[in-house]
Amino acid sequence: MTDQHRDASHRLASAEVVVGTDGSEAADLAVRWAAETASQRGRRLRIVHGLDLAAAGSVYGMYDVIMPPVIDAIRREGADVLRTARRLAHQVDPDLTVETELSEANPAHLLIELSEAAHLVAIGTAGSDGALSYLGSTLLAVASHGRGAIVVVRDTGTEQQTRRVGPVVLGIDGGAGSTAAVGAAFAEASERRTRLVAVHAWSDLYFDRIAGLPYAVDHDAETAGQAILAEQLRGWQEKYPDVLVIRKVYLSGPRQALREWSRSAQLVVVGSRGRGGFRGLLLGSTSDALVQTAHCPVMVVRPQ
């Protein structure tokens, strides 16, 4: 499938909002966020739960797992998880079309496969300080290998903020990987009828902590950053004339800048495999920090 055809498939009216659940509080928050998104966009919601029987076999012993009573118990538990998630979705919108899928597959493999044609895929995560928790490595695998937009909805345990007000904030690094993120961010801002804040950091170093730097560095960084933003945003304003764009350039600290913007944003959008100030955006540095500490959902968009 070509890049254009794949991008078009995500925008088809038939493309579903997909969310994975494991029954945790973090997953419940992601289900609610996905239900709100599907409801507002007139799309179907697909809630999926992967049993990962192969992994269960390594825990319980393959002989036990292939025994019908054990398999039946695992399936019943999975079905209960999906029924609870369906109820949560219908609390958001009783008329929402909700489909559930119980699969024996690995959860990450299941979500990656569905991401190929999904409008977007949502995943919940909880905690901070490096504590990524969503079915083990599922979040990392899906964000790394999923297609299109992967939205990480973080449950802090104290503030469950899935706002429908505030801007969409876009992190731009100037690399080729930013293109898909720019398109997704404009589409989200248009869909949400809000402004778009495009953020570029000249470097991921924290120059403000180094004494004696000349002012020219700031001036040069501002000039270079504005040029990068102009290049990356060229043509998109014409495609989405309803979206007001605000451009922000920082000398350094992309993680800090985006995290601060996430306090008022309803969504932060970043690309993957970034370079320059936002390098390593495949849950490596900036995006890794954001999915653990952002105050709003984070959309990670991989180049097709």
CB-CB contact of 46 with 117 (8 Å)? no
pLDDT greater than 70 at residue 54: no
pLDDT of 26 = 87
Find the angle CA(173)-CA(7)-CA(18) to the nearest 5 degrees: 95
Between 261 and 162, residue with greater pLDDT? 261
Give the least confident one: 161-170, 176-185, 284-293.
Answer: 284-293
Domains along the sequence of the chain with CATH: 17-155 (3.40.50.620), 168-301 (3.40.50.12370)
pLDDT of 71 = 78
**pLDDT > 70 fraction of the chain, expressed in percent and rounded:** 74
> Residue 132 CB: number of other CB atoms within 10 A?
20
**How confident is the prediction for the chain on average, in pLDDT?**
80
The answer to whether the pTM exceeds 0.95 is: no
pLDDT of 159 = 54
pLDDT, tens digit, 9 for 90 and up, residues 147-158: 889 999 987 655
Q: What is the Cα–Cα distance from 267 to 216, expressed in whole angstroms?
A: 33
Q: What is the mean pLDDT of residues 78-94?
A: 97
Q: What is the Cα–Cα distance from 240 to 184, expressed in whole angstroms?
A: 11
Q: What is the mean pLDDT of residues 174-200?
A: 89
pLDDT greater than 50 at residue 56: yes
pLDDT of 255 = 85
Per-residue confidence at 111, pLDDT binned at 50, 70, 90?
A: very high
- The pairs formed by 189-195 with CB atoms below 8 angstroms and a separation of 24 or more are 189/240, 189/243, 190/240, 190/242, 190/243, 191/40, 191/41, 192/164, 192/168, 192/266, 192/267, 193/242, 194/165, 194/166, 194/167, 194/168, 194/266, 195/167, 195/168, 195/243, 195/244, 195/245, 195/246
pLDDT greater than 80 at residue 237: yes
Produce one character per residue of 253-292: b if its CB has 16 or more CB atoms within 10 Å, e if not: bbbbbbbebbeebbbbbbbbbbebbbbbbbbebbbbbbbb
pLDDT greater than 80 at residue 214: no
pLDDT greater than 50 at residue 133: no
